[in-house]
Structure 1
Amino acid sequence: PFPEEIHGRTMCGVVWCRTGDPDRFEETFATIGEPGPPAFHFASPMPYPAVQSMLDDLIPPGYQWYWRGHFFDRIPDAALDVHLEYGEKVPTPLSLMHLYPVDGAAHRTDPDATAWSYRDAVWSGVLAGVDPDPANAEAIRRWCVDYWDALLPYSMGGSYVNFIGAGEGRERVLATYRGHYDRLAEIKRTYDPDNFFRANQNIEPAPRP
C-alpha cells in the first residue's frame, strides 16, 4: 500500500481510524499533518474489517517472528530517545515497533471488572522482529530483547498478554495480570485443573483444596 519512492526507507507511520459521522472526518483529523507534511497520506471510507486487515499482505504466514511488549502510562523524552536509537538499528525491513493508544471504553470500565489489569495504561507497545529467512532469527530476537530492556525503566511493568515473548517466564505473566492472577488461577483450577491448555502465556491452576 506504500508509494514506491519510500520502499526500503525506515519510516514512522500513523495508522488511524475514525468511527462515526463521515461529515466530521476533516474536523477530526485536521491536525494530523501539523508536525510536518507526511511522506504520504491515504484516507478513505472503508468497512472496519478492511482496516483490521489492510497490512496483512506485508507479513504473510511462515515468516520468522519474535516479539515483546510493554504497557506505558507516559512516554518521556528519554523513552523517545530509546525509540530513535533502536529505530535506526532495525535489523530487517519488516521489523517494527507499534504503539497502540489505550483510551475510551478501556478507561471507562472498572479495573476489577475483567481479567485485564492495566486499564490505567495510556499506551500498549509491541516490538516485533520479522523476517522470512531463518538465518536472521537471532538478529531479530536480539534487537527485540535489547530494545525491550532499554524501555523497561519507562514501562508500567506488564504487557498486553499477546505480546509476551517466548521465554519471558512466569514472572512476566504474574506482572501482566497483577492482582487478578489468583482469581484467574482459581478459575483455571475449576475448568482445567491439570493445566492441559498450557502452551500459552500460562496461568497455572491454583492448588486443589
Structure 2
Amino acid sequence: MGARAVAALRRGFRGQLITPGDPEYDTARAVWNGAIDRHPALIARCTGTPDVLLAVEVAREYGLWPTIRGGGHSVAGLAVCDGGLLIDLSRMRGVRVDSGRRIAHAGPGATWAEFDQETQRHALATPGGLVSGSGIAGTTLGGGFGWLSRAYGLTCDNLLEAELVTADGRVVTASAALHPDLFRGIRGGGGNFGVVTSLSYRLHPVGPQVLCGELYFAADEAPQVLRAVRTQLRGAPDQLGAVCLLGTAPAAPHLPARLAGTPVVRIGLCHAGRPERARGAVAPLRALPGVLADTIQLRPYTVWQRTLDPGRGPGARNYWKSEYLSTLDDRAIATLTEHFARITSPSSEIQLVFLGGAIARVGPDDTAYTHRSAPYLLSINSRWEHSEEDPGHTAWTRGLWSAMRAFSSGGGYVNFLGQEGPARVLEAYGPVKYRQLTALKDVWDPGNLFRVNQNIPPSY
C-alpha cells in the first residue's frame, strides 16, 4: 500500500517524499514530545496547496490515515501515527503583513517566532502562544492564548479567514462571510474538518517595546504570592497579561546565580499598552515582600515571546494535564502548593494562566472554543529525560490534576490534551458545543478521514 501511494504521489507532487529507510526518515517523523515514537508509512513535505490536495486524495484512495504537521508541538504527538501518511506543512511558512489594513497572511507551517518577527517590523501583533517554537496553525485551531489575550482575545478570535483542503478534495475559504459554520468550527474545533493551508489574522498595535518581565519568589512564599496575584488581577486592566509558574529557577544571566536550580514561584507579566500606564499596573505586584529577582523592564516584544523557550525545546518526554478552574480560593491554592512540594522532576512545572478580559467578552456561540467564562487555566506540565522514570512523573501529574478537579469549571484545554480518550474531548467542548461540532463533522468529513486528532467523530 505504501509503495502504491508513493507512486501515486510522485505523479504530481512538487515537494519531498520520505519513506522508511530514507536517511531523513527518523528526523522527519520526530515530533516535539520525545515520548512519541511512531512510524508513518510515508511523509509528504508539501510546498503549497496543490501538494496538500494530492496528499489528501492519495490518503483517501489508499486508506492511509492522514496526520497533519504544522509546528509538530502538541503534547499528544498527533502530527504522526503508525502506518499513516504524514502531511508535513512545515515548509509552508511564509508570513506577509498588510500593515495598512493590519492583517497578516501566513502559511500553516509558520511558528510564532517567525510570525512575530514579521509583524513586529510594523509594531503589530496578534495573541500567540507562550512558546515561540509552537506552530501558529495548531494554536489557532485549538483556541490559542498568550500574553496579549486579556487585551485582544484568543488567537482564534483574531482569525479572519482560513483556506482548507477538505476530506472530499475541495479547496474552500472559511470566514464570517464564506462558510460561516465551518469558520465557527475551526476556531477551537481543531483539525477535524480539513487541512488548513493558509490563515489570515487581525493585528493590533503592540510594541516594538513592551513592559514585561518576571518576579521570582521562594517556593514557600507560594500561598501568599498566588493570593496576591489573584487579588491584583481582579481589578487589573485588560492590557496586563499574567502567568504564574511553580517550578525550578533556570540558570540565566539575568538572574542571581544562587537561584539556579532552586524551587521558585515566578510571576510572568506583560503589558500590551503604553509604558507609563504599564508601570502603574505592575507596581503593586513588584512591591510584594520577598521578591528574589525582578526582571521587569522595557524590552522588544519578540524577545519577551522567547522568554519561556529555555528548557521547553524538543526531545524530552512530556506528560501534561490541564483544567479550567472556576475558583482560586485558599483551598485550591493550598492544594497546588502541597503538590508543588512533591514535584518529581526539576524540568516539570505548574502553570497557572490568568484569563478573563477580552476572552470573556466573545459570545459563547461565536466560536468552537467553550470555556469563555473560566478565570483560570491550570496546566500541569511534567517533563523528564528517561523512559524508566515514566511511572513516577505521570503519577504525580495525575495526582495533582485529580486533586484540582474539585475546583474545575468543567474541562481541559483542547491544545493541552494528551491521548486522554473521547470523554476528555467531550469535556473540552461541553455537550452542547460537542453536538454542534458533530453535526459539522457530518457535513465536512462524514467518513472521519481526519481522525488522528482530538477527534470529534461523525454521528454515523
Q: Normalising by the residue count of structure 1, what TM-score does the alignment of the two structures yield? A: 0.92
CA distance in 2, matches of 1:121, 1:26: 27
Larger Rg: 2
What residue in structure 2 maps to residue 169 of structure 1? 421
- 2:321 match: secondary structure: strand
Matched, 1:99 2:359: no
Matched, 1:77 2:330: yes
- Answer whether contact 2:352 2:378 (CA < 8 A) is retained: yes
What residue in structure 1 maps to residue 404 of structure 2? 151
- Answer whether contact 1:65 1:137 (CA < 8 A) is retained: no
1:72-103 Cα shifts (integer Å, max 9, x gaps): 12112111111111101110111001111111
Match 1:46 to one of 295, 299, 303: 299
- Answer whether contact 1:182 1:206 (CA < 8 A) is retained: no
Relative distance call for 1:4 and 1:194 in structure 2 (3 A) is farther
1:3-26 Cα shifts (integer Å, max 9, x gaps): 321112111110110011112232
What residue in structure 2 maps to residue 20 of structure 1? 273
Letter in 1 for 2:358: A
Q: CA RMSD in A?
A: 1.5
1:1-209 alignment to 2 at 5 Å? 1=252, 2-166=255-419, 168-178=420-430, 179-207=432-460
- Answer whether contact 1:161 1:176 (CA < 8 A) is retained: yes
CA distance in 2, matches of 1:60, 1:115: 29
Pick 1 or 2: higher relative contact order, CA cutoff 8 A, min separation 6.
Answer: 1
Task: Quote how far apart the aligned CAs of 1:165 are.
Answer: 2.8
CA distance in 2, matches of 1:191, 1:33: 51
Where has structure 1 moved over 4 Å in runs of 4 or more? none
- Answer whether contact 1:68 1:163 (CA < 8 A) is retained: yes
- 1:58 match: secondary structure: coil
- 1:99 match: secondary structure: strand
CA distance in 2, matches of 1:3, 1:165: 35
CA distance in 1, matches of 2:256, 2:448: 49
Could you list the runs of 5+ residues in structure 1 that have no partner in the other structure? Answer: none
Alignment: residue pair count: 206
Task: Quote how far apart the aligned CAs of 1:126 are.
Answer: 0.3
- Answer whether contact 2:286 2:294 (CA < 8 A) is retained: no
Q: Which has the higher strand share?
A: 2
Could you list the runs of 5+ residues in structure 2 that have no partner in the other structure? Answer: 1-251
CA distance in 2, matches of 1:39, 1:133: 32
What residue in structure 1 maps to residue 176 of structure 2? none
CA distance in 1, matches of 2:308, 2:385: 16
Q: Normalising by the residue count of structure 2, what TM-score does the alignment of the two structures yield? A: 0.43
Which range is displaced more, 168-177 or 90-99?
168-177
